[in-house]
Chains A and B, each alone.
Chain A
Amino acid sequence: MTAETQVAVAFGVNGVAQRLEVGPGETLLRTLRDRLRLTGTKEGCVEGECGACTVLVDGKPVDACLFATAALDGRQVRTIEGLSGGGALGLLQQAFVDHGAVQCGFCTPGFLMTLTALLEENPSPPPSDVKEALAGNICRCTGYRQMIDAVAAVIAQGEPR
């Protein structure tokens, strides 16, 4: 059995460069919440089922609970904290508020990150793509109708995010 060794890793979080020494099996979720105090990313199932911890790595949605921080060298991470500029909500965030798409709010950051990735990939996805994109995010309060309405409103405005 080899000893636990720390791994040097350099990556960006919401545009800010980070240089850390982490354990080989430390997850991005622990790094974000416990080291960087970015607690908007939520811990749900810790097995890749619920999507509450979704963040973007190089623009792609991933479950931070299953992502090794040591694997991030040279990559860019975006979290829910990166969606609002100077305290103002992004378009998608505001649309969630306007459409009553937030109830307890625990799943909301994950949904917003997945939808951000979707709208950056395709600013006007058909409704079937929206539903398919959200397969890996679970909400137990509102149902999904209000969220899908919120996305539709953003798409109708013709601007991503």
Chain B
Amino acid sequence: MTSSGTLAAARLPQPPPVRGSEGRALALAGAAHVVLLVALSFGWQWTSTPLPAVDEIMPVEFVDIADAPRVTQPPEPSIEAAPQETSAPEPTPPEPAPEPEPAPVPDPVPMPEPAPKPEPKPQAKPKPAPPKPEPKPLDTQTLSNLINKALPKAPTKPLNTSDLAKTIQAAQPKNAAIDPRAAATLAQAIRAQVAPCWNPPIGGADVRKMTVLIGAEFLPDGSVTGTPRVLGQTGTSGQNGDYARAFAETARRAVLRCSPLKLPADLYPLWKSVEINFDPEQMT
């Protein structure tokens, strides 16, 4: 993205004005015919007549504009005057990577997949486990990090182990009391609100095999807190990394755009933290 290689085409000769040259071109064409007659009695020929040289393709050179701070966090109130990002034509040194150190996201948490609770999914095919049959699987961990890295730091820590343990303990007794149909209804309510916000790039060549799992935390008023994170992705390969990233971002954007969700307050413990799997297979 910040490559500073010069991609500019060499500047080619300026063309003579096209209209003005028609008379001359005519004369030349006539002359060429004579040449042709002669030439045709030989073997393979490359006869040549001049046409206006057209090339007003202006050279465009790529330069870094890297000396400006990159927005990866919500704007802070006071910033020291940003340096002008209008660097001189000569390539500037490689941009200081703005990497916040790999976020301590407990990324692809090995989820005990299909929850034993049979969610009565209306039309969902039972997906035992996201298949990863790609010959050259992309490192999804890297991809997730790449996507998550650009995110503003969530005000709430996504997960730490003690929180997690607490959550689980808190949820367990409740869980026993919760009607699985309530969970299903809740999932239905979330689906109904998030799906209309999801605009996946369905024209992409690899979209049919792609899914992305997003983790989102909600406040009691139904609004998303922090930025949804990519927990895992299928259908990625070494060839489609850019597409996979754009695809995952559409899912993240869907959750953000639909915030706040309208969900039953009494079930908040159940939807405080949600995993949403986006699968466009049936869309195309």
A binds B: no
Binding site for A on B (CB under 8 A): none
Binding site for B on A (CB under 8 A): none
